[in-house]
Every structure is written in structure tokens, then in C-alpha cells.
Structure 1
């Protein structure tokens, strides 16, 4: 069996297109790792300066910590050396008057509006602003508890609405009242999260090209009957193909994960594993996750997504007699949720489309977005979080699709 698995792996890997694709994906992934959020090559000195500056304020977010941040900001804003000259200040005030602001408003403007550009755009000041925003963590959590509670209790009637509202209030309420949030430098963890969003165009593309022809190529080359009449027999050959596919998929996914982790640890460092993940704009996660626990949760779901993604490709390949058609169908089915923007139509149709997108294999492969919002289902009087349902459905779907593909290829040979 091991010999057959190695043979199938070589068939998928040692071909010009696969080798070129591997090199291209690794190169592109490596280039993206070296870019900062502005699209420029990262400057190690700048990163180190940010790490050192933010590390000064590392610690538990509490009243004492928040007061310290406010004192630091006050020192900067009240320091005369950091303010514009009177002439420059008058010019700024005149600009506000020309934009329609009243004289009373302009006269009452704080020193923040008159900071020198080098101070306003400086690293120290902006990190303090970031820390000031982080100090509002508990207030934001309470706001989401109230908003989500009102939403579910008013929009959804009966016990279902009450149960969903209670669950949302409890999860966000824990963040607001009992969770201890920490502030620290965490640029490396943010970069890891960004790299995860590229999985469809790295791991996904690689799997479509290498695995989607594993059965369909035998059909198109008329070799399926010959192969399955050898001493290895029908079942053993199919088992070898299936195992080789999953070994390749998980192996390549793991390779990229390790590559990303090592390079990011070198460039950005993995300091700040204990910091919170919510920014309350894009990420309003109800989970009491740190950067580390969030990374672990995302990685586990992403691994399930790789398995589900591979299972779909295998099923398509087993049912398609053309290699080109297999690649095309796999690409459309698996990648269109991240390439095509589906309009929000609203109503029953819109709700169905929105929910179905959550269960798409490519979304499970990315996994990061699953932990950025509250979503739950009311099933037999119980509240079950979407973050549990989606992986379970992906696992069950994979367990169903692989045997179907196995029987489809084997039955095709019997019929011939």
C-alpha cells in the first residue's frame, strides 16, 4: 500500500504544472509575508521600534492602566513644544471657519487640533491613541451585549428570540464584566490572521490543480480499466489514491502554516499572544479569545476545511470524465464564494444565500471570519453556536463524499 501511495503522490507532484505551481505559490506567499499593511517591504527597524514602543504599555486593561494612557496623552497635548506657532494655529482656525464651523466651536478646540504634524503622525502618539482605543474594550463589549440582546428579542419572536438574546448577552456580558483583556504589541499575530485569508489562492489553487485529475485523468486517458485489473485490485488502488490526496492536501497546508509561522516569528515576533482579538469594527467576536487561542481555533477549523475542500475535489474528479472539466467545476464550486460578490437580496432568499456561504468549503478553509461575530441556531430548544455547527457539517460531508467517490470509480470499472 505504501508503494502505491508514493506512486500516486509522485503522479500528482512530479509534473511540470504542479512543480511550477508549487514554486509560484511559495514565492507569492513569501513575498506577501515580506510586505507591510501599506504594500511596502517591511522595515525591521521600524517593526522593532513599534514593538519597543507598544511594549511600554503592555499589561492588563484596567482603570489604572487607562489613567496612565490618558496622562501620557495629556502630557503630549499640553507640552508647548509639541504645538503649532500662533500663526499656524490661526490658519487652522480659519480653515475650520471656512468649512462652516462656528466661531464658538473654533474657540473651544482642544490642543489636539494644533499638534505639530511630526507629533500627530509620530509613532509614540499613534500608539497612545491605539492604547486609548483599547481602553474602551469593556464598554464596547457591553454595547454589543445590549445591541445583540435587543436585536434578537425584538426581531425574532417567542422562545427562540429570547434564547438567542440571552446567549448573546451572556457571551458579550462575560467580556464586559469578567474577562481580563491585555494590551501589548501583537503585529505578528495580525499578520498570521491576514495570511490565513489567502488560503484559497495558495492551498486551494494547489489542490485544485493537483488533485482534481486524480480520477478524471484515468478516465480521459482510458487507463482506469487497465489499472484496476492489476494485482493490486480495485479497492487498494482507490484507497491509495484517496490517502495520497489527503496526505498531499494536509501536507501542503501544514507546510504553508509552518512557513508563515516561522517567517512571521522572525520578522514581526510572536509577542502579544495574550492580547485580545476584537477591534469592534471588523472583529466583534463574542469569544474570550486571546491572539494565541484564536490562532489555534482558526487553525483547527481550517484543517477541517482542507479535508472538506479535498473531499469535494475528489468527488468531482470521480464523477467527471474530463480532466479539464474536473478542474473547471472544482474551481467554480470551491472558489466562487471568495471571488464573486453576491448581492444582499434580503428576505428568505438573501438569508438562505448568506447562511449557505458559511458552509462553503473555501470559507471553512479560511476560517478567520467564523470567530469575528455572533451567530447561533435554535435547535430542539437548545442554542448551538454556528462555530460548532459548520465544522461538524464539514466533517460529516467529507465522511459522506469520500465513500461516494470510492463507489463511483469502482462501479464505473465494474460496468466496463
Structure 2
């Protein structure tokens, strides 16, 4: 079995396109690091330690509308200057990136957007009307209780986490690597007319199918670890500065319903994204087994990943559009929307965040798809 797994992994990594994509990941992050270094050098800044020294006096400040307005006005004023000092550059761009957050974000609940105060007002109104047993009330109360636990946003230098933990940027690399590496794992045997020989061997009916599944999962685990480590190196250069800060103080995630830290977000994000990659790997394998054509297998696999969001634009109802846009593998692998949105689903009268629903469905589907591959694989071998 081990020799079969090694053989299958060797076949996957023998594809030049896999190595090209892995190099593309290195180039993508390397170019970002080089760009940052050039920007700092252009503005006469020695290194990021100097940046952190400049912003140090602002560390821990509680963000208010007044303070944010001051920072925004300062940035507008400096835009009129031709040459900025190192301190002016840092305070007008790098500081403002983490400072000018949305401290009163909108939360989407049903078809409406609410500020926290508006949500509380509508909750009180429903309570006065005696509608506490309705799903609308339960849903609004559930979201309000979540966001009410969040900490007040404070300034801390942590902008590297927006890039190093950018799951949305990693997702295309991972999905394409899975497609080019796995989509031909069964179909190539049929197109090369080696399937009948292989499947009639003593390993054909059982061990070969299992070895292909295990080798594909090993490959996906390797590329997942590689891509995430490459991106994590960006944060490591700053010694993971800001890892213990509240998630709602991270740019673009101000409206998160979760009261967790940045590092907790990253760890959960890794788990969710990995679940998505494992499920996607198994689905790509199943397609390869059933289609028996390399090109068609790759196209269908790409469609499974990217088509749901596109199809959602043509759905006849808004609810169907939301389902297609949210409950798909692209959302799970790219992660960020799972932590940014407050959308819920009515599961037997109980509001469930769509992130929890999507992860649960995916975990349930993994053994089902694996069993389906084994089942149809054995039938193909007969």
C-alpha cells in the first residue's frame, strides 16, 4: 500500500504545472515582501522596527469617531505635500490602515442592515409586541448577543495579518493546484488505456482505489501546508505583531459576529479552509472517476468551485441566490466571508450562522464522498 501511495504521489508531483504553480505562490509573496521593502526605502525608512517605533505612542488607543476623523483629516492634509518625512509617511498611511476602522458597522440580518443601536431598538419593539416566540426575534436576539460581547476596538499595529492571513488570496492557488494535480488521477488511466490492466491486478479492486484517495489527500495536505507557510512568512517577518488583538479591530472584519482574537481567527480559518480543500479534493477525484476524460474532468472541477457564485446571479428568488452564493466550496476555502457576515439560516426554528452550517455540511459530506469513490471505484474494477 505504501509503495502504491508513493507511486501515485510521484505521478502528481511529476507534473510541471504543479511546480510552476508552487513557484507562483513563492513569487506572489516574494514580490509583496520586495514591494514593501522598496516602499519603505523610498520613504527613507530603514526597516519595520522603525515603523513600529513611530506608531508606538498610539498603541492601545480606543478608537472613536473623533480620533478617526483627526487621522483622516491629517492624511488629507499630507496628500497636498510633495515630500513626506518618514514619520509623516508612516502616520498618514501605515498607521491609518489599522486606525481608520468602521467602529459602528452594519450587520446584515434577513433583508435589512442594522447598526447595533438600531438592532437593539427593533428587539425591544418586538418584545413589547409580544413576538418573542417568532424566528425573527430569536434571530435578532442571537446576533445581538454575539455582537454585544465584542470588545471595543483599539489601535494596534497588525496590518501584516491582512496579507499573511489572506485566505481569499490563497484560495485560487489551492483550488487550481488541486484541480491540475488531482483531476486526472483516474481519468488519465482510462485515456492511456491502462485502466483495465491496473484494475485487473491483485491491487486493483481495493488497494489501488484506497491508495489513490490517500495519495490525493496527502498531496492536498502538502500544498495546503506549503501555501499557508509561505503566506505566514509575511507575518513572521514582523514577529506576529498583533496576534492577540480582537478580530473586530482587523481591517475589513469590523462587522464580525465573533468575539475572538486575530490568532484564533487564523487557526479557525486554517481548519475551515482545510476542510474545504479535503472535500474539494474528494469531489475532484469522484469527477475524474466518473467522467474518464482529463479535460472534461478539469472543467467540471473548476465549475464546481467557481460556478455557484456565478449561478447565484440568475436565481429566480433572493433566497436561492443567497444559498448558492454562500453555501459553496469557494466560500469555505477562502474563509473570510464566514467570519465577516452575520447571515443565519433557520434550522428547525433555531438561527444558525451560515459559517457553522457550511462547515457542518462539509464535514458530513467528506466521508460520504470518500465512500462513493470507493463504491464506484470497485464497480469500475469489475
| Range into which the TM-score falls when normalised by the shorter chain | 0.7 to 0.9
Structure 1 length normalisation: TM-score? 0.75
For CA contacts below 8 A with separation 6 or more, give which structure has more relative contact order.
2
Q: Contact 1:214–1:314 (CA<8 Å) still a contact in 2?
A: yes
* SS of alignment partner, residue 26 of structure 1: helix
The alpha-carbon deviation at position 54 of structure 1 amounts to 2.2
* 2:6 aligned residue: 6
Match of 1:287 among 258, 262, 281: 258
Change (3 A) 1:200 1:335: farther
Match of 2:232 among 257, 261, 264: 261
* 1:96 aligned residue: none
Q: Contact 2:60–2:155 (CA<8 Å) still a contact in 1?
A: yes
Task: Give the Cα–Cα distance (whole angstroms) in 2 for the partners of residues 41 and 261 of structure 1.
Answer: 21
Equivalence map 1:29-68=2 (5 Å) = 29-36=29-36, 43=41, 45=46, 47-59=48-60, 61=62
Equivalence map 1:7-22=2 (5 Å) = 7-22=7-22
Task: Give the Cα–Cα distance (whole angstroms) in 2 for the partners of residues 22 and 317 of structure 1.
Answer: 23
The alpha-carbon deviation at position 322 of structure 1 amounts to 0.7
Match of 1:164 among 127, 135, 139: 139
2:323 paired with 1:355: yes
* 2:157 aligned residue: 185
| Structure 1 vs Structure 2 CA RMSD | 3.7
The alpha-carbon deviation at position 294 of structure 1 amounts to 1.2
Deviations 1:285-307 (A, max 9, x none): 01112211111121111111111
* 2:350 aligned residue: 382
Match of 1:297 among 268, 271, 292: 268
2:28 paired with 1:28: yes
Deviations 1:301-320 (A, max 9, x none): 11111111112111111111
Match of 1:311 among 242, 259, 282: 282
* SS of alignment partner, residue 245 of structure 2: coil
Deviations 1:244-273 (A, max 9, x none): 00010011101111122124312x442111
Equivalence map 1:172-251=2 (5 Å) = 172-175=147-150, 179=151, 181-194=153-166, 196-251=167-222
Task: Give the Cα–Cα distance (whole angstroms) in 2 for the partners of residues 223 and 114 of structure 1.
Answer: 68
Moved more, 386-395 or 18-27: 18-27
Match of 1:373 among 341, 351, 360: 341
Q: Contact 2:143–2:342 (CA<8 Å) still a contact in 1?
A: yes
Change (3 A) 1:151 1:342: farther
* 2:110 aligned residue: none
Change (3 A) 1:240 1:130: closer
The alpha-carbon deviation at position 412 of structure 1 amounts to 1.8
* 1:94 aligned residue: none
* 1:104 aligned residue: none
Task: Give the Cα–Cα distance (whole angstroms) in 2 for the partners of residues 123 and 322 of structure 1.
Answer: 54
* 1:124 aligned residue: 91
Q: Contact 2:272–2:335 (CA<8 Å) still a contact in 1?
A: yes
Change (3 A) 1:55 1:280: closer
Match of 2:377 among 409, 412, 416: 409
Task: Give the Cα–Cα distance (whole angstroms) in 2 for the partners of residues 131 and 245 of structure 1.
Answer: 40
The alpha-carbon deviation at position 207 of structure 1 amounts to 0.8
* SS of alignment partner, residue 58 of structure 2: coil
Aligned residue-pair number: 362
Structure 1 unmatched ranges of 5 or more: 83-111
Structure 2 length normalisation: TM-score? 0.81
* SS of alignment partner, residue 318 of structure 1: helix
The alpha-carbon deviation at position 198 of structure 1 amounts to 1.9
